Amino acid sequence: MIALLFPGQGSQAAGMGRELADRHPEARQTFIEADDALALKLSSLCFEGPDEQLRLTENTQPAILAVSVAAWRVLEANGLRPAFAAGHSLGEYSAHVAAGTISFEDALRAVRNRGKYMQESVPVGTGAMAAIVGMDLDAVLAVCGQAAQGEVCEPANLNSPEQIVISGHAAAVERAVRLADERGAKRAKLLPVSAPFHCSLMKPAEERLARDLAGVSFGRPAFPVVTNIYARPVEEPESARTALIRQVTGTVKWAASVEWLISQGVGTFIEVGPGKVLCGLMRQIERSKRCLNVEDQNSLEKTLGFVQAAPVASKLA
């Protein structure tokens, strides 16, 4: 069985999607639709940068979504039919577009606003995020609790048994990094992010996004989409909407999501979109599972070569 994995913010790079758009009409059409939906040359931002514009959250999110959907449409045109999909944070929107839960145009507008709302929820410099490697969740929770001192300091991404990302007020997160170092973490470092995502400081963004998503049409997905907040699939439209809203302040339960997919018999994962961040996390979660990726022509050919050589049963839901 195959599951699609869609990356989130941090996977962006100038040049992403260009080769697929040059060589595949499905990808080219995706970028035309994106430019039209946003009245913005998103394609140029993806293909050429500049990096400082691409790094702005309200640009990054629709850009990664567009590249991911372009790559998915090329895979779909080549006959790929997954059993499941999941996406890391922003990637959950890409997964729902692939599954047909929401339209590409609605998703583009939603994530552009999502990025804007997240950035505006907390003044620049007030919040921070940090990655802690080599500490279990109980230890990280203890560190966050001691570091908070009346401020927000919370687990944001449970990425793998090895890696947990925390989020909150800058001073509290900095205290947590020092404590984690003292208590034997393999590594604890601040991340170069523009806002403290996936923590309670994002409540204003969650409320604004909820109003936007209330006006978006949701349908039943063609295949189950595993959500960040539940680490379980949703198949009802309202459940999908609720999960996307709660995700803004909720913890991304990525390791548990992947473990659930493995428990259902998924043996091959395909990271669809820029970068290989999720394949890297897969090696930390379960090294025995194959993780392929599709972001350019070379990776597309390698992935299709494997899928087309595999037994028919593994290609279909």
Residue that the structure tokens 């869609």 belong to: 6
Superfamily of domain 2-121+201-314: Malonyl-Coenzyme A Acyl Carrier Protein, domain 2 (3.40.366.10)
| Residue (of 255, 94, 270, 121) closest to 198 by Cα position | 121
pLDDT-derived band of residue 311, with 50, 70 and 90 as boundaries? Answer: low
What was the pLDDT predicted at 48?
Answer: 95
CA 93 to chain centre: 8
CATH 3.40.366.10-classified regions of the chain: 2-121+201-314
| Residue (of 162, 156, 161) closest to 191 by Cα position | 156
What CATH number has the domain spanning 127-193?
3.30.70.250
CATH 3.30.70.250-classified regions of the chain: 127-193
pLDDT digits (tens, 9 = 90+) for 171-222: 999 999 999 999 999 999 999 888 899 999 999 999 999 999 999 999 999 9
Residues labelled as active-site residues:
89, 198
d(CA 185, CA 93): 33
Helix boundaries (H) for 122-274: 137-148, 170-182, 203-213, 237-246, 254-263
Instruction: Quote the radius of gyration of the chain (alpha carbons, Å).
Output: 19
The SS3 of residue 117 is helix
Number of neighbours of residue 259 by Cβ within 10 angstroms: 14
Structure tokens at 30: 């995706």
Mean pLDDT of all residues in 311-317: 46
Structure tokens at 29: 């059409």
What is the pTM assigned to this prediction? 0.94
What was the pLDDT predicted at 235?
Answer: 85
Structure tokens at 294: 């599709």
Structure tokens at 106: 């609605």
d(CA 42, CA 109): 12
CA 229 to chain centre: 12
The amino acid occupying position 225 is V
The amino acid occupying position 142 is A
The SS3 of residue 226 is strand
Q: Per DSSP, what are the bridge partners of residue 279?
A: none
pLDDT-derived band of residue 313, with 50, 70 and 90 as boundaries? Answer: very low
